[in-house]
């Protein structure tokens, strides 16, 4: 692919309002572009920045989902309800 065609590609927007699945797809697209094409250094750096933002966003979403899942508690009747969140203990570094 020529440099002119590469520059004509729209930048991938790592906006934090996209659904998780869309962010993963955008991240996959960035990885494919970086692996399969001869991109100029500046373009590679831009894609890398976008990718790191998307990775951080996806990790935040996964942590938030984990917290919500852990907060669900099954009641006596079998229905699920939010339980008070217990602090997560950090492993000691001894």
pLDDT for residue 4 is more than 50: no
Terminal C-alpha separation, the chain: 53
Give me the CATH number covering residue 48.
Answer: 1.10.287
Domain membership of residue 46 (yes or no) is yes
Q: State the pLDDT at residue 6.
A: 44
Domain membership of residue 44 (yes or no) is yes
Neighbours of 54 (CB within 10 A): 26
Number of domains in the chain: 1
The token duo for 13 is 């927007």
- Tens of pLDDT, residues 51-92: 999 999 999 999 998 888 877 766 656 677 766 666 656 555
pLDDT for residue 26 is more than 70: yes
Range of the domain at 52: 18-82
- Tens of pLDDT, residues 27-38: 999 999 999 878
Domain membership of residue 34 (yes or no) is yes
Contact 69, 51 (CB under 8 A): no
Domain membership of residue 89 (yes or no) is no
pLDDT for residue 94 is more than 60: no
């Amino acid at each position: 692919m020529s440099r002119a065609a590469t520059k004509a590609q729209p930048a991938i927007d790592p906006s934090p309002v996209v659904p998780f699945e869309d962010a993963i797809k955008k991240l996959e697209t960035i990885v494919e572009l970086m692996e399969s094409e001869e991109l100029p250094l500046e373009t590679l750096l831009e894609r890398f920045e976008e990718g790191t933002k998307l990775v951080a966003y996806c990790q935040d979403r996964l942590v938030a989902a984990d917290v919500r899942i852990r907060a669900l508690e099954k009641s006596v009747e079998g229905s699920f309800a939010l339980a008070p969140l217990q602090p997560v203990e950090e492993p000691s570094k001894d």
